[in-house]
Structure 1
Amino acid sequence: MPPESPIPLTPQSRTPKQPRLVFSAETFPESSVTPVFAFPPNRDTLGGTAYLIVRKDGNLLIDCPAWDENTRSFLDAQGGVSKLVITHRGGMGKVREIQEVFGCEVIVQEQEAYLLPNMAVSSFRESLSLASLAYGDMSEMQVIWTPGHSPGSACVYYAALGGILFSGRHLLPNAQGDPVPLRTAKTFHWNRQIRHVRKLLEMFNSETLHFICPGASSGLLRGKFAIEQAYSRLAKLDLEACLIQAATF
């Protein structure tokens, strides 16, 4: 007998997952926050989560979402991409294709710029302001070098809603939904990563860092894409205990 034909996909199962709205003026009516979207995990970046911040002075894409017609149509509908920040080398995905379509500025820390040969990129060393003076203070949005996970790992800070940190893989949620550095076999320099967690605690406080949007493991947030009460939860982390792991890993 011939093999049975596969069960046809239902219309619902063929429908691609859409980016989800994380923040907006509708969900936070007393604020003037512009829409922030989280994309579904991207296989090209080992399950990484990319984010889009929609702004009047040009949209900011943080890391690369899966690149297909659905993503392109969605980005087109939101007004395209003005800037694309890569938070670590694993978040590059189809960065070349995205730049070719939207003509966006690609921003990457200087130690990982060589991974994008024959591309126009803007590199930075310690930090870089991203916002336009026409739409707010230059400190309102910036990218901050936080090496450790990779040599050029970085976080993106957005001052809306009391402070949102897009942490890439520098900080990820654990099973309790708390932000933690995660050491793996591919971690570039664990002690340096811990030092830059401490640097973030020195840069911010409970009034300036309300949310962390991790660049992976968002499933541990149980349907959310942001860690709330971010600073106080990060401040509870035992950094000295983390450093001890360097001798036992």
Structure 2
Amino acid sequence: MPTTTKPPRPIFDTLYAFPPNRDIAGGTAYLILEEGGNVLVDCPAWDEPTRSFLQEQGGVKQLFLTHRGAIGQVKAIQQETGCEVVIQEQEAYLLPQMAVTTFQQEIRLSPHSLAIWTPGHSPGSACLYHDRHGGILFTGRHLLPNQQGNPVPLRIAKTFHWHRQLKSLGALRDRFTPETLQFLCPGANTGFLRGERSIDRAYDRLSQLDLEALRLQKPGL
């Protein structure tokens, strides 16, 4: 019986986006091709097409989880690929009896990729910064596209701490510049990008967000 799974889509020549995964509430996972070993950002659907694709790309060295909701079938992925699982220390308890690498503030995964703790959406929410292609930030659910395709923090009923999330956003804006942060790859809501494969002009769009107005925002569903 032929598979109906859509193949991962290339964003750049060293970056792919997987189809939304129901195991992580429709989240989007990514694969970064690195010379020293590939990095998987969050969990794609774990099926034969995904396994074959990852093998064709040279396997997975590290699986970085942006937040607790991105865990998916992480145990099966680690068992079959032998990858190192990296997660912020406050959410490592969700993976008992698994070998994981934890971090507090930051951890460097490769010469080009750095994980940054951005609490708020969940206690261990984190982003991954990749310095190629003008700078790409994989935001998990810390920042998501709205219906206009612009990146925003979303306050929902399950948000861990809204003001910390906004503080984390402010820290990212202080850290980067238009030259070092040109693209965002969100971990969900990618349908709002309307065919685009990333959010461009990333720093400029983040700098336009009104943090004071966002502080007063009421939680959504």
**TM superposition score normalised by structure 1:** 0.86
One-letter amino acid of the structure 2 residue matched with residue 87 of structure 1: T
Shift of 1:246: 5.5
* 1:42 matched to 2:21: yes
The answer to whether the Cα contact below 8 Å between 1:190 and 1:246 also exists between their aligned partners in 2 is no
Query: Whose radius of gyration is greater, 1 or 2?
Result: 1
One-letter amino acid of the structure 2 residue matched with residue 168 of structure 1: G
* 1:237 matched to 2:209: yes
Task: Indicate the residue corresponding to 1:16 in structure 2.
Answer: 5
Q: Secondary structure at the match of 1:161?
A: coil
The answer to whether the Cα contact below 8 Å between 1:52 and 1:60 also exists between their aligned partners in 2 is yes
Gaps of 5+ in 1: 1-8, 25-34, 132-137
Deviations 1:87-107 (A, max 9, x none): 000000000000000110000
Count of residues paired in the alignment: 221
Shift of 1:15: 3.0
Matches within 5 A, 1:133-212: 138=111, 140-212=112-184
The answer to whether the Cα contact below 8 Å between 2:15 and 2:32 also exists between their aligned partners in 1 is yes
One-letter amino acid of the structure 2 residue matched with residue 212 of structure 1: L
The runs of 4+ residues in structure 1 deviating greater than 2 Å are 246-249
CA RMSD, Structure 1 to Structure 2 (Å):
1.6
* 1:93 matched to 2:72: yes
Shift of 1:175: 1.2
Gaps of 5+ in 2: none
Shift of 1:224: 1.7
Shift of 1:161: 1.2
The answer to whether the Cα contact below 8 Å between 1:150 and 1:188 also exists between their aligned partners in 2 is yes
Deviations 1:31-50 (A, max 9, x none): xxxx1000000000000000
**How far apart are the structure 2 equivalents of 1:23 and 1:220?**
20
One-letter amino acid of the structure 1 residue matched with residue 85 of structure 2: V
Choose between structure 1 and 2: higher helix proportion: 1
**How far apart are the structure 2 equivalents of 1:94 and 1:20?**
21
Identity %: 59
**How far apart are the structure 1 equivalents of 2:132 and 2:219?**
39
The answer to whether the Cα contact below 8 Å between 1:42 and 1:66 also exists between their aligned partners in 2 is yes
Q: Secondary structure at the match of 1:155?
A: strand
Task: Indicate the residue corresponding to 1:72 in structure 2.
Answer: 51
The answer to whether the Cα contact below 8 Å between 2:183 and 2:200 also exists between their aligned partners in 1 is yes
